[in-house]
Amino acid sequence: MLSLTTAQRDLLYLLLTTETPIGAAALGQSLHLTPRQVSYSLRSIKLWLARRHASLRQVPGVGIQLICSAQQRERLYAELESHAKFQLILTPEQRGQLLALVLLITPEPLTLNQLQQDLAVARTTVLKDLDVMEIWLASFGLQVVRRQHRGCWIEGAELAKRQALAALLWGDVPFSLPIISVQAGLGFDFVLQQDAALLPIIQRVNSFLQELDLPKAQQQVIWAEAALNARFSDQAISLLALALALQQQRINAQQYLHWHPETLHWLEQQLIWPVAKQFEQHYGLQASATINLAEIAGVALQLVCAARERPWPNQHETDHVTVRLINGLIDVIATSYDVAELANDQLLRDGLAALIPPACNRQRFGLWVPTHQSSETQSERYATERRVADLIDRKLLATIGVALPIDARDELILLLRAAVVRARPVQTRNILVVCPSGMATTQLLVARLKARFPKLGIFEVLSMRELSAERLANADLVITTAPLALASVPIDVIQVHPMLHPEDIAALTQWMV
C-alpha cells in the first residue's frame, strides 16, 4: 500500500522521468501546485525514497534531482505503476487536523463508525486521534463529548469554536506540518485538496473551504480600515479577513454568537460600533434582532482587538486604555531609564497608544492570535527593556486588570529600545541612500528616514553607478531599495522598501544599537 498523496505521487513521477535537476518553481507550475505544497510533498517523498535506498539532491539555484541507479529508477517507476489505484494513508497529524475541523463544522453528533469510514482507519486509531486533538481543543475552552450509541461532538461557546477554526485554517496547530494555511491575497492552501475524491473527510473539509470567501472578506476589512481612518498591520488584515469569512459561513450555517450583557454593552460604546453595524448589510442578516446584534458585536470585537500600526483618532474616549494611563506609562519609562527626554518622545507615545489598547483587549477577551515565535528580545542585550516591560505589565494589571500578551510584549520591548536609541546624543554618521526608482521616490524615502530616525546621521543620495570605493570608505551605512553586492568593501548594507515598512524600521533600529 502506497503512503503517498496524489500530489506527492505526481511529483515523484515527474522526478523519475526527468534526469536533470528541475527547480521547485518549475515542479509546482508543471503540476499546478503552490510552493508550499511542493515543499510539503518533498518531505514525504524523501522518506519514501530513503526506505528504498534512493534520495533527492536539492541544490539552491540549480534544482532538485532524484539520485539512484538506472535499475533503481525502473523499480521505483514500476512500484508506482503497480499502485496506480491506491488507498490514501494519512499521517496521525493529518487525521487529527481533519477530525478537529469536521467536528467543529458539523452541528450534529458524528458516530465513531462514521469517522472510521470517513478516514478509512480502525476504531482504536480514531480514538487515539481524538485524544490528541481533545487536549488542543481544550485550550480554546472546548470539550469533545463522547456518548455511546450517539457519537461525539464539540461543546463550547460559538466564539471559541470560531477561534479554533481560525487557528486550524491559519495552520497554527501543535504539529510541524499543518495541512491548511492562509496565503495572503490568494486564499487557502490545502495540501490534501487533490485527494478530495479519495476520502470523504477530505472532501467535506474541501467543500467547507470553498464556502469561505477570503478575497471578499479582505475587501470588507479594507473598507472598515478606511471608514475608521485606521491602519491595521499586514498580519492583522489577514487575520481579520479570516475571522470575517468564518463569521459569514457560520451565519449561513445558522451558528450564532452569544454575549454576556456587560460585554455587549461595552462593545456598543466603542468608536468602531457604527462601522461594525454596517456589516449587518454585508452579511445579509435576516435573523432576529438579538442574533443580528450579537453578530455585529462579533465584528466589533475583532476590530477593537486587531493590531494597529498607528493610534486611532479619539481612541481615548472609549478604550480601556486611556490617555491618562498612557501618560502614566510614559512616566514609568522615563523614570526607569532616568532619561527625561523620553517623556516628550511622540513616536514612543504613538507606539504605545497603537500597541497597548488592542493587545489588552485581546488578552481581556482571550482572543486567539498565531503562536508567537521566539524573538531576539529574549537575549541578554534586551534585559533592561524586559525589566521596564515588567513594570508596565504591573501597572496595567493594577489599573485595568490585564497584562500584555507575549506577542505584544516583544513589540513593546522593541518600542522601548527604539526610544532609548533616539534619546542618545547625536552621533554623526554618514549614510548613503541608494534608490534606483527615481528622484521622487528617493526624496520620499529620505523624508521618511529623517522623520523616523532624526538622529540616524547625515544622508547622501547616490545612484548605483556613483558607489565608488572612496564614497563607501567614508560611509558608515548604505541604505538601498535594491539588492547590492559589496563584498569587497566592509560596510553594512540594509535593504528597505521605499515606504519604509515595520521590518525595515526594526532592522535600522537594530543597527543603531
The Cα–Cα gap between 484 and 118 comes to 54
Low-confidence ranges of the chain (pLDDT < 50): 1-2, 85, 316-318
The Cα–Cα gap between 191 and 512 comes to 42
Please name the residues in contact with 139: beta carbons below 8 A apart, sequence gap of 6 or more.
none
* Residue from 201, 104, 109, 107 nearest 149 by CA: 109
The Cα–Cα gap between 214 and 239 comes to 10
pLDDT at 333: 93
* Residue from 285, 303, 281 nearest 294 by CA: 285
pLDDT at 98: 94
DSSP 370: P
User: Which residues on neighbouring strands pair with residue 493, listed in sequence order?
Assistant: 478
pLDDT tens digits, 141-164: 999 999 888 889 999 999 999 999
With vertex at residue 175, the alpha carbon angle to CA 171 and CA 181, rounded to the nearest 5 degrees, is: 15
Please name the residues in contact with 478: beta carbons below 8 A apart, sequence gap of 6 or more.
431, 432, 433, 434, 467, 472, 484, 486, 491, 492, 493, 494
3-class DSSP assignment, residue 381:
helix
Domains assigned to the chain? 6-82 (1.10.10.10), 92-210 (1.10.10.10), 214-305 (no CATH), 315-423 (1.10.1790), 430-512 (3.40.50)
pLDDT at 485: 74
DSSP 225-274: HHHTT--B-HHHHHHHHHHHHHHHHHHHTT------HHHHHHHHTSTTHH
pLDDT at 317: 43
Looking at every residue in the chain, the average pLDDT score rounds to: 85
The Cα–Cα gap between 432 and 434 comes to 7
The Cα–Cα gap between 387 and 393 comes to 10
pLDDT at 427: 67
- Whole-model pTM? 0.72
H helices within 270-382, ranges in order?
273-277, 279-282, 289-305, 323-337, 346-365
pLDDT tens digits, 3-41: 667 778 778 888 888 888 888 888 888 777 777 778 878
The Cα–Cα gap between 283 and 387 comes to 46
The Cα–Cα gap between 336 and 76 comes to 67
* Residue from 387, 388, 384 nearest 332 by CA: 388
The answer to whether the CB of 502 falls within 8 A of the CB of 411 is no
